[in-house]
Structure 1
Amino acid sequence: MERLEALGERWPWFGTALAVHGRVGETNGSSTASAATVQFFVALFPLILVVIAVVGFLSSGDDTIAADIIDGLGLEGTAAQNMQDAIATAQDSRRTASVVGIVGLLWSGLGVTTAVSLAVRTPWQRKVEGLKGKGFGLIWLLGGAVTFGGALGAGALLNRTPDVVPRPVTAAGLILLGVALELGFFLWTFWILGDRRAGWRALLPGAVVGALGFEVLKLVGTVLVPRMVASSSSLYGPLGVVFAVLAWLTIFSRLIVYASALNAVRYEEDHGFTTLEIKAVRFEGEVPVEADRGGAVVDVEPQADHS
Structure 2
Amino acid sequence: MSAFNWGRELQQRYNAIHGSSLAAAITLYGFLALFALLILAVAIIGLIAGGQKGFAKEVVGDLGITGSSANSISKTIQTAQTSHRLGTIIGVLGILWLGSSFALAITHAFNAAWGITGLGMISRGRGLLWLAGLSALALGELSFSSLWSLLPDFLSPLSVLLGLVVNSALWFWTSWILPRRKVPWRVVLVPSVIAAALFEILKFIGSFVVPRLVSSSSELYGSLGLVFALLAWLLIIGRLIVYLAVVEAWRGEKEVSA
State how far apart, in whole Å, the 1-side matches of 2:217 and 2:30 are. Answer: 21
Structure 1 match to 2:109: 119
Label 1:94 to 1:131 Cα distance change in 2 as closer, same or farther (>3 A). closer
1:1-307 alignment, distance < 5 Å: 9=1, 11=2, 13-59=3-49, 64-68=58-62, 70-71=63-64, 77-148=67-138, 150=140, 153=142, 165-168=149-152, 170-230=155-215, 232-272=217-257
Would you say how many aligned residue pairs link Structure 1 and Structure 2? 253
- The alpha carbon displacement at 1:80 in A equals 4.4
Letter in structure 2 aligned against 1:106: L
SS at match of 1:18: helix
Label 1:225 to 1:76 Cα distance change in 2 as closer, same or farther (>3 A). farther
- The alpha carbon displacement at 1:217 in A equals 2.3
* RMSD between aligned residues: 3.0
The answer (yes or no) to whether the contact 1:150–1:178 under 8 Å persists in 2 is: no
Question: Higher helix fraction: Structure 1 or Structure 2?
Answer: 2
Structure 2 match to 1:285: none
- The alpha carbon displacement at 1:59 in A equals 4.7
- The alpha carbon displacement at 1:167 in A equals 4.2
Q: Which moved more, 1:78-87 or 1:191-200?
A: 78-87
State how far apart, in whole Å, the 2-side matches of 1:177 and 1:233 are. Answer: 34
- The alpha carbon displacement at 1:83 in A equals 3.2
The answer (yes or no) to whether the contact 1:27–1:122 under 8 Å persists in 2 is: yes
Label 1:231 to 1:77 Cα distance change in 2 as closer, same or farther (>3 A). farther
State how far apart, in whole Å, the 2-side matches of 1:90 and 1:67 are. Answer: 18
SS at match of 2:157: helix
The answer (yes or no) to whether the contact 1:53–1:94 under 8 Å persists in 2 is: yes
Letter in structure 1 aligned against 2:191: G
Letter in structure 2 aligned against 1:44: L
CA deviation digits over 1:81-107, x for unaligned, max 9? 433443343333322211111111112
CA deviation digits over 1:71-129, x for unaligned, max 9? 5xxx6654444334433433333222111111111121221121110122211111112
State how far apart, in whole Å, the 2-side matches of 1:97 and 1:183 are. Answer: 34
The answer (yes or no) to whether the contact 2:23–2:235 under 8 Å persists in 1 is: yes
SS at match of 1:198: coil
Q: State the TM-score, normalizing by the size of structure 2.
A: 0.84
Label 1:22 to 1:271 Cα distance change in 2 as closer, same or farther (>3 A). same
Letter in structure 1 aligned against 2:241: I
Letter in structure 2 aligned against 1:26: A
Task: Flag structure 2 segments of 5+ consecutive residues without an equivalent.
Answer: none
State how far apart, in whole Å, the 2-side matches of 1:86 and 1:243 are. Answer: 22
Label 1:105 to 1:83 Cα distance change in 2 as closer, same or farther (>3 A). same
Q: State the TM-score, normalizing by the size of structure 1.
A: 0.72
Letter in structure 1 aligned against 2:124: K
Letter in structure 1 aligned against 2:130: W
Label 1:266 to 1:209 Cα distance change in 2 as closer, same or farther (>3 A). same
- The alpha carbon displacement at 1:269 in A equals 2.7
Q: Which has the higher contact order (CA 8 A, sep 6+)?
A: 2
The answer (yes or no) to whether the contact 1:59–1:65 under 8 Å persists in 2 is: no
